[in-house]
Amino acid sequence: MKKLWLAGGCFWGVEAYFQQLKGVLETRVGYGQGDTDRPTYEQVCSGQTGHTEICEIVYDEEVLPIGKVLEHYFRIIDPTSLNRQGPDRGTQYRAGVYYQDEAERPVILEFIKTMQPHYQAPIVVEVEPLKNFYPAEDYHQDYLRKTPGGYCHIDLGLAKPEERS
């Protein structure tokens, strides 16, 4: 069992996309990388906390290796947009990959390096050790499962049928 924390705009869509994949065991949305302890959604939206909306992904590396996790992540984000994904704008919507295992850093950086030729603009995805993670309020957890037709900027259909659980 491994964990990564991914930021890619509104965390509802990131969570819903990854929940449908084979090998993903758990997800949880929250706020990370900021300077405020236990921030609220309203505080994070103010842009004053330094936090970004992130999704914690717990996955089985035997079924879904880190390289595949990153491939899926790059399917659903624009890695060249700074502080923006789809219509979501602000530092809380920046793109980032956060890890706890230092051995993952070179793997993540190498993946990004191999992706750069596919984009004209520079990739601006943060790659950092996880500084902190505070779970979001309960109503944000599994939001798109609880709210069919709820807002989502991510095309959940980007996961191929054979990749879904």
Question: CB within 8 A of 146, min separation 6: which ones?
Answer: 139
Evaluate whether 123 touches 115 at the Cβ level (below 8 Å).
yes
Could you count the other beta carbons within 10 Å of the beta carbon of residue 85? 23
Helical H segments across the chain, by residue range: 11-19, 41-45, 66-76, 104-115, 143-146
Indicate which residue of 10, 45, 55, 152 is catalytic: 10
Active site residue 45: no
Query: How many Cβ atoms sit within 10 Å of the Cβ of residue 117?
Result: 7
Neighbouring-strand partners of residue 21: 164
Amino acid, res. 106 = P
State the catalytic residues.
10
